[in-house]
Every structure is written in C-alpha cells, then in structure tokens.
Structure 1
C-alpha cells in the first residue's frame, strides 16, 4: 500500500525530493572534501591568471554557502608585479577570505570580508594607473581590482608608495583587546605630498573599506606633516572613499597656505594658527561647523564648506573675528609675520619673522612674494569675513573690517572691501585675474570721512575740532607680486580735505617761522584754521607725479612738486612754504624730501639758505642788529584758490593715468 502511495505522488514532488537528496549529498561531500589536495592546483591557477606567484604555503580549507564561499588559508604569499618595490603584495600567517560566487561568472572578485593574521602588505601606485592590488595581468585595468568590504587584522605592517603623488609611507599595526572599542593601534612614518609625515592613533579591529549598512568605524589620529599638526577622533562609515566622517579635530600649523599641497584647499598665507571644530563628510561635500581658534594674535570663528562634486572644487563659508590684530595681515601680501604674531600660538614652531628677514638691496620694502597662480586656478570660492574690532593699528587707525572673497576660474576679487579707518571708511574692490601671467590686477578704493585727529593722535589730545579727509586709489596694471604690480601700475591717487582746525605746533615747525615759535612758547597753543589740502598724483607705469600738492592754512601755504617712483621705491619732492604774515627770525627755504621708501630723508635746499646766511654775515659786520634783517619774512604767501585746488585734485590728467584709473574702476561690481 505504501508503494502505491509513493507511485501515486506527482512527478514534481518526486523531482523535488531527488533534488533535496542531491543537495544533501553534495553538502556532505563538500563538508568532508579534502580541500587541501587542491592547494597545488589553486596555487598554479591563480599564479597563471595574475602573472605572479601565488602560494598557500601550509593548508587550504573552503566552506561553501548558497551565495558565497569562505576560503581559509594557513600561510599565504602573493607576490607583487616585477616593477614594484616590495616583493609581496601580501604575506600573512593566516588568511580568511569571504568570496561572492555569482560575480565570479563575470570575472569580478567581490570580497565582503578579509581577515589577515600578522600580514605585511606592499601597495604601490604608478602614474600610468598600474597598481599592485589589481589581480589581472594588466595591473592598470581597474576592472581587475577586487571589491573589498571589511578588513580585519591582528597586527602587521603596510607599505604604500606613490612617487608621483609624493607619498611613501610605512605603517606598523598592533592589536590588543584591552584597548576596548579601539583595540588596533598604528604608527605611520614616511612622506606625504613631499613633506615628512608621522602619525599614530587607534582604530576598531574591523576596517570598513566598503560596508554599506554597517555601524560606523571608530578612528583616532595624531599626525604631523611638516609644520602642520592634526588631532582628530570620530567615526568613518566608508574608509575607501573617506565617506560618512563625523569627527572633532584640532589643527595647528605655521600657515594655512601649507594645507594646499596636503588637502588641495587653496587658502592664503597666514600667521601661525590653531583651529578646532566639527568635521563632517557626505559624498563629495566636506563641512566644518563651529570652527574656532586663532590666526596669530587674532581670534577666528565660523563655518566652512568644501564641495568637490563639480569640475572645480568650491569653498564657501562665513568667518568672523571679535578682534583682529594688524600684525597678522602681513603674510596676506607677502610679508613674513612679525615676531609677536609668529610666537602667538603655543606648540607651533615660529616661522621666520619680519625682524629676521634681511632688508632687500637699496632699502626696498614693497612685498616681492610672487602670487601663486596654480592656487588661484585650483578651486573656486565665496567666503565672507568680518572683524568687529582691529587692534595694534599703529600709524593706521583701523577700527573694523569686512570683505567678501570670491574666486572664480582663476579670478580673485575682494568685493565689497569695507574697512573702518579713523572714524571714516575705506571701501571698494580689488581684482586679480590669475588666469593671466603676469596677472591683471586692479584696485579701486575710496576714502571717506576720515578724521585728521585720528590720523595724528597728538592733535586729538588737544581736543581741537580737526578736518576730515576724503580720497581714492584707482590703479591698474600687470604683475606677479605687490612690488612689481605697483612698479608698473597706472592710475590716480588723491587725498583731499576741506576746512578744519589743528594745533599750532605742527605748521609752525613745518614752516620754520622762528617768530611764530617764540609766540607759541610765550602764548601757548592756538588753533590754526586749515583752509584746504590736496595731495593728488598721476601714476604712469609706476611713476607717481604730483599734479596737485597743496596745504593751505591761515598762516602759511605749502606747495610741493616731485615724484615717487614705485618701481625704484624712491622719493624726490621739494616743498616750498610761503608764510602769509611778516615774521622775524624766519629761515624760509624750500624743503627737500628724498631717499627711499625704507629710508626716507629730509632737509633744506642749501642755496637759498646759504644766501640768507651770507647776507646775515655781511650785515653783521656792519652792525649785529642789522643781521636780523636778513631773517625777516616779508610774507609773499597768498590764500590758494581752494575750489580750484580741490577741483584739480579730483581730475586725473588725460593719458595713461586716466586710462589706468578707468580700468581700475572696472574691478567693482556693477
């Protein structure tokens, strides 16, 4: 009867039962199969397919599942290609490899998990794309690179070489379960981007190269590359692409400009810095939130974003300082930091300072540091910066500052640029077209409402109501540094002032009117009215020629002529004071201002002064009292036409100066 029931069952059920029995038999066969007998054939097969020696040295075992297999090798050696520096790609005491079976049909190797015991790894990348970890005979074919999910090791060493990238690193790894969630420690030595690198830290025992859906991988690092020091702790979800980063960091160094070769972010040269914040990476977007720290003597805070998704990376953000120190601005224009700024950050070796740099030949002082055109073209940017207060301003009474920095296809613009100066402001734009070499540089700046008393603190202490200054700078030209740009720039520079008052002492000494000095000493300080003043220059290829140089007060008019050579950095001016009243004991004679920007000199013209001296000597031989007659000033000075003076100062002369000024104004946003 049982036989009849079996015969009466459907055919499909009989086939299913046979299939199950076959699988059971196959499972038993695989479970007890002497896999080690295939060690030799496997060694020969892999060696032939890859073109290099592969050997499981002691024992082979395999576990088969529905989706994959687990290969256990007791002793494994896999040679590198002949062109590699290290003899082995991998050499380990033991290896356990999970392999997906179905991708093998299309000759793809997918390894969800790789466990190595005491391995040594030799990784090398060449400029033509060859890499030692490609498994085909053509090691430049990315299709032969295995996809690895998790790597687990218990110690060992790794070498990585990429000469064309300036990378040559050696890492030693050790494993200790007593370290809790970070049992794997590492030490790295070598060179990165051409700079000496050392690093140490701890990680979890499973390195997630590509492991979607896995918990974050913990990581700590303390690294130094050159003079840059990084400490960070956090998690990574995809180590191969450095994705899913959540970390806190502390970063120190001599200048932010040194990060360009390390990270590819084109930041300006700065004073030594110490920064901290929260770092996050998702895909191609890097974000820093809660950034805070110091740049030299200045505090800095804000948020930044660096997006590498586009064809050209883009940096954006907003930065602010409660207090910005003037000593920290030098590196931005090619000057080394001052001694104060260089030593402001603890734990950072101070760079060469301005006091340690020898003065250039001829006493020149304009910065000659070349613009880095490669950096200008390396990325685009849009960053806003504001400083609530500026300190240590010395001769320039800056109060506050703000600027929006944009970099687009090699063109750098500072627009708007807004600085509080002496109760007024300096505002405008600067444009540097780094797509050209030398760069096309244009500066258009306006000075408005600056208080004279703030420029000359000694006047401010008198309590006098002093005049206000207005002015402008419109310069354009080509250059690769501040010095050679100014040395060839053309345009217009002017400073003008209307009525005001200032203490008597300054004009008295400037006019050398001896009688007024005596009256000042006898009567005390009196106010002298400033009628008007104008200092205006036509600039033609670095030569600043005064077109209107006039200072008109109630007791004297000063007229000046001359030039300042921005290329040679020399001064050549003659100032002629013309007192407006008759005064005794006057030695009125033209004053000469010469020398260099770094070492100016002043004096009086000898001939007129000598003539008066000889006259006094001759008259003195007749009667000593007559000698005073030679010092009596007849007062030929007349009030200047202030309206005409200011009008002339406001108009650059036609020609190169006018054309250069017009080009400079084109730097501003329209």
Structure 2
C-alpha cells in the first residue's frame, strides 16, 4: 500500500513527458528553424510599419534567447523618409542587432548592441522635430525612437545633417585591431555652427550611446572649427548625453567669445588664447580643473564650472593672472587686440590688430569703442566669476599696478561689483552695471579715485616725474547705449578729480605761460619744483556733453583757470586756459591757451588776438627804441591765490539737475 501511494500518478508522468517533449521540440525549432524563410515577410512588415522601404538583401538568421534575440542580417537596406537628403538611413554589408524581447510587448524597441559592417548611415533632423532614425511613420514622435546601447562599426561612412543648427558633417570610420585599445579611427569634415570643421581621432571598438554599467571607452580628438582648435584625450561613459567625460584638453583660438557659437558659453571677447586643463562632466555639470594658459600676453589659470541643468545655464569659477598685460584689455571693451597681443599665441592665426583696423577705417581718429553689446549672449546664461591680476605690466599711458573684479550675470543684468584697480599707487574702485534686458541697455557706473600719485599718473611726461601730490575723484554716470561710445555719447552725471598740496615742475608751468625769463633761468640753473596749492577738474555731464564747472590749477607761481567742454558724442574738445602769474617777469608773452581738436587728434595753441596785440605793441615801441620793446612783454603779476576751499567745494557736487540726477542713477550701480 505504501509503495502504491508513493508512486507518481500516471497522468502526471504523461504531462511531464509531454512538456519536456514540447520544450525539446521548441528548442529544436529555435535551433533549426529556417529563419531565412521569414525574410520577405519581415521586409514587408517593417516597410509597412515605417512607411519606407526595408530589405534584408541576402539572408536572415536569429539566435533566440529567453530575454533577448540576436538578429543577424546579411545585407541590409533601410531607406530614409522622402524628405531626407540621403537615400538610406542605413545600408550595410552585414549587421547584428541584439533585441530585447519583453519591451516589445510595450511597443518599445530596445537595442543593447548594434554591429554594422561597411555601413553607409544617413542621419538627419529638422527644426520641427522630425528625425530619420524615428522608426514610425510620424518621424517627430519620440516614442518611435529606439534605445541603442553599444555600437560597433567596421569601416563605413556616417552623415549627419541638422541645417537649423548649422551642422552638416560626414565621418569616415575604419577598424584595425592593431591599434591597441583604440582601434576605431575616424575622420570628420563639414560645418558645425556654420563654421568649417575638421576632426580626426581614435576611440575604442565600441561606442556607448546609452548602455549603462559599461566601463568608459577611450577617446582621442584633434579638431578645428573656424579659428578654434581642440585636442583632447580621455574617456567617455555614454555618447548620447556626453556623460562621464574625464579628459585632458588643449584649446586655442582667436577669441574666447567664439566659443559661444560652438558651445553656447557666453564668454567675453579676448585676445588670442591657449588653455589646457582637465575636463569632467557628470550629468549636466561641466567642470574644468587646473586650467592654465595664456590670454594674449597675459597668463591665466583657475577652475571653472558650467551647469546646464538649470533653467538658465550658469557659469561659475575663480580665475587668476600672475601677470596681466594691458594690451589684452582692449577686446573686453570692444577694441581689437594690439599687434603684440594678436601675435602672442603660437598656432593661432592672428586676428586683425588695432593698428590694421585703424589703417582700414575711415574713422580711425575715433577713440571710444563702438563695438555693440551682444544682448543674446548676456541673456543666454547666468554667471558668477571672480578674477584677480596680481600684477599688471606694459601700462604705458595708464599706470595700473594690479586689479580684481567680481563678475555677475543674472537674467540679462551684468554687474562688475566690486571692481578694484590699483592705479598710480592709488585705487580706482567701484561698480559697473549693464541691464541688457532693455534696448538700448541701461548702463550705470560708479567709480572712486583714491590717492593716485601725480608723478606716476602721467609717466611719459618727463617734467612730471619729480612732481608729487595725491589725486582723488569720482565718476558717477548713467545712460543708455549698446556700446561704450553710444553710452558715453548720451550719458549724464558727474566726473571730478581734485588734489591738495604738492609740488609741480616749474618748467612745465613756464612753458604753458610762455614765460621766456623763467625758461632762460631753467637753462642756466635747471628745473625746480613749485608748490601746488590745489587743483580741481570737475564736469557736469549732460547727454554726453562734459561742461567744466571747476577747472582750476593753483601753484605758488601761477593760477590757471579753464572753461569749456568735451563732447563725448562727437569726441571733440573745446577749452580755453587762462594763466594769471603771481610774480613779475619780463620776456613774457602770456596769452590764453586754446585746446581743441578731437580725442584722437587733440590740438593746442595760444589764442591769437591777445598775442598779436602784444606783438604789435612790441613792434611799435621797438621802432622808437629796441629796449622799449621789452616793455610789452613785462608781466606785472596780477594773479592771486585761488580760494582752494571754494575750488574743492565746487568740484565735489554737480550743479545742473541733469548731472545731479544722472550721478544719482550712476551711484545705484553699487549693490
């Protein structure tokens, strides 16, 4: 009885044997099924579903598994949509496609691996969202785009066209196992962002488009787009989002501003550059670490980050120059680089220099930069970057020592705050604000001049080298414009500079006063300094016209009073300087000095009428007695000391309402 109860029921045995036989039969069918008989039905089915011709030209075979299948195609032709430029999406001698089975139940195509032998691939996307690799009849439907993991290519060509992005590229690839860990070689030629592009390099034998969990594959590239050249070597985890980049790079070109068209990073215009460092990317965050190199004649280094994951991309970082060359500042305010800067970086075609531009420009006498602000760039991203220059060289006309600036760009509003420059042993400090959300831009500047030394402020004037005194002042301007020139041409506000006691070159004063006796004394006894009691240069600025409100230079020898204006719009000068000597002198032909001309070509001279009157008197007296002619040149010294307190008081505050209002808006640049 016990043996009978422990026996397996006959029906269970029969069912088990039947299932085993079925499984065995199914395995045999899978192993020996003539898959090629399905080739024509598959061709018709895919062609009908996609709306374009699909054909396996020679043979179809399948290795079927529980979770996936490997489809082997001997000869494949898959046409592009009728709107595409290239006739085929893919045409290859052989192809292998690993296909996940279960996602097919959700009408999702997942291809973990795709191998193509000698392919011709035609990829194209349109502005309206259509793309040739979408497998449905509606090629703009995201749901019809397959997920592709690893791609292996053995000799072939790939075309990619996206006219609305300015991209039209052709790549030739070939595989050679003798090349070690990077056997796949590629060459690319075409246009990128509407600039000519060429590139070549090597990668691993498998391109990882989206497959996760795979080791990063190696990549080398040597590319040139327009005047920008890039060399990089490292690894990439996935190509679809360029994720997991870890590479060293060397990039150089005519201006960092060119990278906006290539990468979408709104950097300022600069002199030619060459930079190297380590580039890493995780998700939407790009990081450059240990960057170093040159901007024209200046060195630069630091770390930068570019976050594309925010609604508006954000650039951040900290940069430093051990030595910054003054010639490299021009492009930042719209001027071409100097010839020295233009030729400073090896391997970069020099851009037109400021000297070349002047020669070819009809308005070469213009000084203020006319390059317009690029509003699109200022609205393209946000930024928070700090820059410091430990030493500034090649200062020539402007004796800068060092400088630093904190650059912020938020929703189209650019601020330089604080801006701090060491000038002539003193400081120029403050803030500049540019609101590019308005057109013309609302531009405000508030700068303070502190303790600049006169003998360093104008180092080219030999007679000032022994002078000393402290210069203080301020610039508070506001207005609208799309360039430095247009802004200043319509700006209003306050500009002033004042100085107290010091010493000044006697020779310079006597030349300005045309005092022959003092010049003779100098030739016999040498130059001597005279006491500077006070000086003020202050302007009310109204819509670009700088009207002098306190223009006084008072020394123990002479007091100078000036009146007139400078026009920032047409860049003209119109001043008269009157000298009032405090001592009696002979051989003096003192007469008002006239300063005119333009900023680029100023002119100076004596006012003709008073000088001619003195000359006629001297001529008439000389006809009676030559010694009497000297009487016409005797200066009795009617000048008196200026009221320095009043001079400095007038210099400190604007008078007109327009200047006062403009200065108040300018001060608002400081946060």
TM-score class, shorter-chain normalisation, is over 0.9
CA distance in 1, matches of 2:107, 2:656: 76
1:38 aligns with 2:38: yes
- Counterpart in the other structure of 2:363: 361
Q: How does 1:566-605 map to 2 (within 5 A)?
A: 566-605=568-607
Q: How does 1:75-154 map to 2 (within 5 A)?
A: 75-154=75-154
- Counterpart in the other structure of 1:68: 68
Q: Deviations over 1:145-174 (max 9, x none)?
A: 000000001110000000000000000011
Q: Deviations over 1:474-506 (max 9, x none)?
A: 110000011111000000000100000123222
Q: Deviations over 1:279-312 (max 9, x none)?
A: 0000000000000000000000000000011100
- Counterpart in the other structure of 1:511: 513
Residues 13 and 459 (structure 1 numbering): CA distance in 2 closer, same or farther, change over 3 Å? farther
CA distance in 2, matches of 1:300, 1:12: 82
CA distance in 2, matches of 1:665, 1:253: 38
- Counterpart in the other structure of 2:628: 626
Residues 70 and 362 (structure 1 numbering): CA distance in 2 closer, same or farther, change over 3 Å? closer
- Counterpart in the other structure of 1:284: 284
1:394 CA displacement = 0.5
Structure 1 contact 152–205 (Cα < 8 Å) conserved: yes
1:106 CA displacement = 1.0
Structure 1 contact 459–503 (Cα < 8 Å) conserved: no
CA distance in 1, matches of 2:652, 2:400: 25
Residues 628 and 382 (structure 1 numbering): CA distance in 2 closer, same or farther, change over 3 Å? same
Structure 1 contact 260–266 (Cα < 8 Å) conserved: yes
- Counterpart in the other structure of 1:204: 204
Structure 1 contact 228–252 (Cα < 8 Å) conserved: yes
- Counterpart in the other structure of 1:531: 533
Q: Deviations over 1:22-44 (max 9, x none)?
A: 22220111100000011000000
- Counterpart in the other structure of 1:59: 59
1:548 aligns with 2:550: yes
Residues 191 and 178 (structure 1 numbering): CA distance in 2 closer, same or farther, change over 3 Å? same
Aligned match for 2:493, one of 491, 494, 497: 491
1:6 CA displacement = 9.1
TM-score normalized by structure 1? 0.98
CA distance in 2, matches of 1:631, 1:375: 64
Secondary structure of 1:583's counterpart equals coil
Structure 2 contact 406–418 (Cα < 8 Å) conserved: yes
1:360 CA displacement = 4.2
- Counterpart in the other structure of 1:667: 669
1:118 CA displacement = 0.5
CA distance in 2, matches of 1:352, 1:486: 26
Q: Deviations over 1:558-580 (max 9, x none)?
A: 00000100001000000001110
199-208 or 14-23, which deviates more: 14-23
TM-score normalized by structure 2? 0.98
Residues 501 and 459 (structure 1 numbering): CA distance in 2 closer, same or farther, change over 3 Å? farther
Residues 29 and 523 (structure 1 numbering): CA distance in 2 closer, same or farther, change over 3 Å? same
1:524 CA displacement = 2.1
CA distance in 2, matches of 1:136, 1:463: 81
CA distance in 2, matches of 1:88, 1:7: 65
Structure 1 contact 504–528 (Cα < 8 Å) conserved: yes
- Counterpart in the other structure of 1:26: 26
Q: How does 1:218-297 map to 2 (within 5 A)?
A: 218-297=218-297
Q: Deviations over 1:508-553 (max 9, x none)?
A: 2122211111222222222200000000000000000000000000
- Counterpart in the other structure of 2:427: 425
Q: How does 1:291-306 map to 2 (within 5 A)?
A: 291-306=291-306
Structure 2 contact 463–505 (Cα < 8 Å) conserved: no
Secondary structure of 1:414's counterpart equals strand
Please, which runs of 5 or more residues in structure 1 have no aligned partner?
Answer: none
Q: Deviations over 1:632-662 (max 9, x none)?
A: 0011110000011000000101310000000
Q: Deviations over 1:369-407 (max 9, x none)?
A: 110000000000000000000001101100000000000
Structure 1 contact 453–460 (Cα < 8 Å) conserved: no
CA distance in 2, matches of 1:607, 1:362: 33
- Counterpart in the other structure of 1:613: 615
Q: How does 1:309-388 map to 2 (within 5 A)?
A: 309-358=309-358, 359-361=361-363, 363-388=365-390
CA distance in 1, matches of 2:54, 2:466: 91
CA distance in 2, matches of 1:422, 1:10: 109
Structure 1 contact 412–433 (Cα < 8 Å) conserved: yes
Q: Deviations over 1:110-145 (max 9, x none)?
A: 000001100010000001100000000110001000
447-456 or 588-597, which deviates more: 447-456
142-151 or 454-463, which deviates more: 454-463
CA distance in 2, matches of 1:461, 1:525: 8
Structure 1 contact 246–278 (Cα < 8 Å) conserved: yes
Structure 2 contact 488–568 (Cα < 8 Å) conserved: yes
Residues 602 and 73 (structure 1 numbering): CA distance in 2 closer, same or farther, change over 3 Å? same
Q: Deviations over 1:74-97 (max 9, x none)?
A: 000000000000000000000000
352-361 or 155-164, which deviates more: 352-361
- Counterpart in the other structure of 2:169: 169
CA distance in 2, matches of 1:9, 1:253: 85
Please, which runs of 5 or more residues in structure 2 have no aligned partner?
Answer: none
CA distance in 2, matches of 1:620, 1:367: 54
Residues 324 and 463 (structure 1 numbering): CA distance in 2 closer, same or farther, change over 3 Å? closer
1:637 aligns with 2:639: yes
Q: Deviations over 1:237-296 (max 9, x none)?
A: 011110000000000000000000100000000000000000000000000000000000
Residues 9 and 155 (structure 1 numbering): CA distance in 2 closer, same or farther, change over 3 Å? same
Residues 13 and 593 (structure 1 numbering): CA distance in 2 closer, same or farther, change over 3 Å? farther
What is the RMSD of the two structures over their aligned residues, measured on CA atoms?
A: 1.7
Residues 643 and 164 (structure 1 numbering): CA distance in 2 closer, same or farther, change over 3 Å? same
1:10 CA displacement = 9.2
CA distance in 2, matches of 1:458, 1:93: 76
Secondary structure of 1:658's counterpart equals helix
